[in-house]
Structure 1
Amino acid sequence: MDVRMQTRLPLHRLAVFKVLIAQLIVVLLICVLLLVWRGWIAGYSGLFGGAIAWLPNLYFAKKAFSFSGARAAREILRSFYAGEAGKFVLTAVLFALVFAGVRPVDAPALFGAFIATQMVGWFAPLLIKAKPSRP
């Protein structure tokens, strides 16, 4: 079977989907907490910071997990490298867009939400329970 003809699992069927949902929940919670605690500017700055972390992770998940199986080893490696490079570029572009286009911005709220959203990935092994796969 040609590697390019393999069917992909939809994103919601991948194990990484739980991590993406957890990150989205963290973004929304931080946004609400900042909104209540520090006001509108901190609230939307936190939302932007979380989005800057979450959107590139979503891109990486879609790109990196586009192939599966032993026959697709080269394509899997290429898709991981491409996903990571795209994630890096997308993160830099989103930061540049926010700092160039959003006035005023609360930098501690922006970076705090960004870091908190990224930290969810550190705890990903706790969110993804390995299940033995059956053919």
Structure 2
Amino acid sequence: MSTIKAPPIYKVAVIQAVTLFLLVLAVAILSNWTDAYSLLIGGLICLIPGTLFARKAFKYRGARSAGLIVKELYQGEAIKLVLMGAGFALSFIYIDPLNVVVLFSGFVLVHITGVLMFVRVSRPVRNNP
């Protein structure tokens, strides 16, 4: 068992989900339903595969598990790309009407939120006054 602390992947995922749902609520109130569900779908296309990838990628820790970590990274990335591609393809095929600009905006906003939150929660704590 490794003594390396696991990154807060679920905390980041929850923050991404809360941010997404608040944005969807704001768009539903200020705009229309097509924009709201397009934003939701785009955000979920990013959130679900990204969280599954992070779960696989950080399953093992430590130098002794290097081979397993690399294997999980490759598998996780492949799964993530397939799920994202399928999400976009299914959205374009089956959802009508769909606001494509808002769909991609939701995807990008959730991704940026995840990157910013991961940087924030994984930053080392400084005790300098």
Q: Is the CA contact (8 Å cut-off) linking 2:8 and 2:121 kept in structure 1?
A: no
Say how many residue pairs are matched: 121
Q: Partner letter of residue 98 of structure 1? A: S
RMSD of aligned residue pairs (Cα, Å): 1.8
Q: Which runs of 5+ in 1 are unaligned?
A: 1-5, 7-12
Give the direction of change, closer, same or farther, for the CA distance of 1:88–1:47 in structure 2 (3 Å limit): same
Q: Contact 2:46–2:111 (CA<8 Å) still a contact in 1? A: yes
Structure 1 pair 130–21 and aligned structure 2 pair: CA distance change class (3 A) = farther
Match of 2:46 among 43, 53, 63: 53
2:119 alignment partner in structure 1: 125
Q: Which moved more, 1:14-23 or 1:27-36?
A: 14-23
The reply on whether 1:28 has 2:24 as its aligned counterpart is: no
Q: TM-score, normalised by structure 1?
A: 0.81
Which of 13, 21, 31 aligns to 1:38? It is: 31
Between the two structures, name the one with larger relative contact order (CA 8 Å, sep ≥ 6).
2
Q: CA deviation at 1:128?
A: 2.9
**1:1-135, aligned counterparts within 5 Å?**
14-123=7-116, 124-130=118-124
Identity of aligned residues (%): 32
Structure 1: 4+ residue segments shifted above 2 A: 127-131
